[in-house]
Amino acid sequence: MSRTAGRWFVSFTVEVDRDVPERPSRRQRAGGPVGVDLGVKHLAVLSTGQTVPNPKHYQRAERRLRRASRAHARSKPGSAGRRQRAAQLATIHVRVANQRHNGLHKLTTRLARSHDTVVVEDLHVAGMVRNRRLARAVADAGMAEVRRQLAYKTRWYGSTLVVADRWYPSSKTCSGCGWRNPSLTLSERTFTCQSCGLVLDRDHNAAINLHHLVAASTPETENARGADQKTRASGQVAGKREPGTATAGQTGGASPRGEAA
Ligand SMILES: [Zn+2]
């Protein structure tokens, strides 16, 4: 039993026998591979071009969270008012977290059930440490959670999870011709290719690049399942990486992969 923000929770552990499908059932899975780019403004953008919105009421709850946070900061330290505001703040925090969590669960279930292969990015550990902005932290926490959920749900539903290399420049690469824009900043919401002229929503472009990672090598990875997937996927991605890219990503403080993605 636990208590969070004034609410009590009781947890149970149960053992469930679950049939793990031997191979993806093609009947249900017309989707093929899908690339997923997690966002802040939207929950995710898929390589299919579909934008998955944040849960209903999420934005409103976030505004209330900001207001409550300011009210708490303004209150007098040690006062009864401050204690009350801290309690209010905690309650809203939990509600916002629950809403996002719920949205992520719906997303991952849908992805694992309707696609052969789901491609996500690796967690931006470096970017997370460096960037203290709340929005980025939320997105990174979401990414870790999405990966965790997809890892077991793809096993449940017989699909495959592929995790892209951490330094794979999904946001900076043109999904049409492969041209790279090394100076792409986080504030540029549209990707404009200076080589082939492609103009596309930044997140959609990134999602398509993730999709390309497996689309080119699907016959090889089709039967890959379980623990060896990560290794195989990473190997493929590493192979595609151009010389020097990893170094540039690791040392380029101004525009590291973690912040620009
Ligand atoms: Zn291009």
Structural domain tally of the chain? Answer: 1
Supply the mean pLDDT for the chain.
75
What is the Cα gyration radius of the chain?
20
What are the tokens at 77?
């330290």
Q: How far is the CA of 212 from the centre of ligand 1 (A)?
A: 14
Boundaries of domain holding 82:
27-260
Catalytic residue flag (residue 228): no
Q: How far is the CA of 208 from the centre of ligand 1 (A)?
A: 13
Q: How far is the CA of 173 from the centre of ligand 1 (A)?
A: 8
Catalytic residue flag (residue 121): yes
CA 221 to chain centre: 22
User: What count of residues does the chain have?
Assistant: 261
The residue ranking higher by pLDDT, 151 or 136, is: 151
Using CA atoms of 48, 54, 59, 60 in order, give the dihedral in degrees to the nearest 10.
130
> What is the Cα–Cα distance from 110 to 197, expressed in whole angstroms?
33
Q: How far is the CA of 180 from the centre of ligand 1 (A)?
A: 8
Choosing from 121, 140, 165, 259, the catalytic residue is: 121
| pLDDT in the model for residue 231 | 36
Residue 42 lies in a domain: yes
At 203-234, the pLDDT tens digits run 899 999 999 988 765 443 333 333 334 433 33
> What is the Cα–Cα distance from 144 to 170, expressed in whole angstroms?
17
At 66-102, the pLDDT tens digits run 999 999 999 999 999 999 999 999 988 888 888 888 8
Residue 2 lies in a domain: no
In a 13 Å sphere around the CA of 160, the CA atoms on its Cβ side amount to 27
Which CA distances in Å does 154 have to 111, 146, 165, 176, 224?
8, 11, 19, 29, 12
How confident is residue 129, by pLDDT bands cut at 50, 70 and 90?
Answer: very low
Residue 18 lies in a domain: no
Residue 239 lies in a domain: yes
CA 66, 69, 75, 76 dihedral sign is: negative
Q: How far is the CA of 176 from the centre of ligand 1 (A)?
A: 5
Q: How far is the CA of 170 from the centre of ligand 1 (A)?
A: 13
Residue pair 61/92 in contact (Cβ under 8 Å)? The answer is yes
Catalytic residue flag (residue 165): no
Choosing from 62, 140, 165, 203, the catalytic residue is: 203
Residue pair 43/54 in contact (Cβ under 8 Å)? The answer is yes
What are the tokens at 258?
């973690």
| pLDDT in the model for residue 108 | 94
Residue 22 lies in a domain: no
Per-residue pLDDT at 242 exceeds 60: no
Residue 14 lies in a domain: no
Residue 184 lies in a domain: yes
Residue 71 lies in a domain: yes
